[in-house]
Structure 1
Amino acid sequence: MSELATENSPTTKGNAKIVYILYLVGLLFGITGIVGVVMAYINKDEAPEWLQTHYQFQIRTFWIGALYMFLGSILSIILIGWFIILFWVVWLIIRSVKGLKALELEKAIDNPTSWFF
């Protein structure tokens, strides 16, 4: 496969970068996170192996984040829920920045199945 064909394939690192950005924008406009996870699911199978770790990391970031938000929302009746939501915001930012940094260096995510950072 030629270099040009690789650059124009639908699973370039540009798509993974868009997903990370959509997650960060999702902190203000929640719907973009859903668009991001759909893009990750669509692109993960045809991506190179190192990029598949990013898509797996992004998919897990979405679902684990949804769990944190669900728990935080339910527990917001008592004070602990607001701390869970605050943790989720910081957690999402750190994971997205970590992913963007590794993506820029074209490195795989070390542990894409991690629950933390």
Structure 2
Amino acid sequence: MNEVSERVREGDTGYVRVIYILYLVAIVAGVTGLIGVIMAYIYRSEASDWLRSHYTWQIRTFWIGLLYSVIGSVTTPILIGWLVLLFTVVWLIVRCVKGMQWLDRREPVPDVGNWLFG
């Protein structure tokens, strides 16, 4: 077993934290969100249960955020899209901050299937 696999299995929170930060940076530089979701898919299978809940939360955050962004972009000509895009940015920030709070307390995400703020 390699060193990375061992650290992920033992509960190393570093990768999870990096992904949350990549998502926040994606508000300005979108490509970092894609890097974050790829990392979440890679490390999720080897993680302990409580960390796996964070990876799943992050993966869902990416895909749901992408859906909200597409809806916002498509509806910008009728002006409601700007509100949808603003909501998406706030939504992303809140999900990342709450995720990092749970991570700092070494708690799993309580409701991974939640579409809003957890």
Structure 1 and Structure 2 fold alike (TM over 0.5)? yes
> 1: distance between equivalents of 2:48 and 2:8?
11
Once the two structures are superposed, what CA deviation does each residue of 1:4-35 show, in whole Å capped at 9, x if it has no partner?
Answer: x7996246210000000000000000000000
1:43 maps to a residue whose letter is Y
The alignment of Structure 1 onto Structure 2 pairs a total of residues equal to 113
Unaligned stretches of 5+ residues in structure 2: none
What is the aligned partner in structure 2 of residue 88 from structure 1?
Answer: 88
Shift of 1:38: 0.2
Runs of 4+ displaced beyond 3 Å? 5-8
Q: Take 2:63 and 2:8, find their aligned partners in 1: how far apart are those partners?
A: 23
Percent identity over paired residues? 47
- Per the alignment, residue 100 of structure 2 pairs with 100
CA contact (8 A) 2:50 2:109 kept: yes
Return the offset for 1:113: 1.1
- Residue in 2 that maps onto 1:77: 77
Q: For the residues of structure 1 that align with 2:112 and 2:35, how far apart are their CA atoms?
A: 20
Superposed CA deviations along residues 54-94 of structure 1, whole A, max 9, x for unmatched, are 00000000000000000000000111100000000000000
Deviations 1:83-106 (A, max 9, x none): 000000000000000000100111
SS at match of 2:69: helix
Aligned pairs (5 A) from 1:31-70: 31-70=31-70
Q: Give the distance between the partners of 2:110 and 2:48, measured in 1 at CA.
A: 15
**Given residue 78 of structure 1, which amino acid in structure 2 is its aligned partner?**
I
TM-score, normalised to structure 2, is 0.91
What CA distance in whole angstroms lies between the structure 2 residues aligned with 1:43 and 1:8? 11
CA shift in 2, pair 1:16/1:82, >3 Å: same
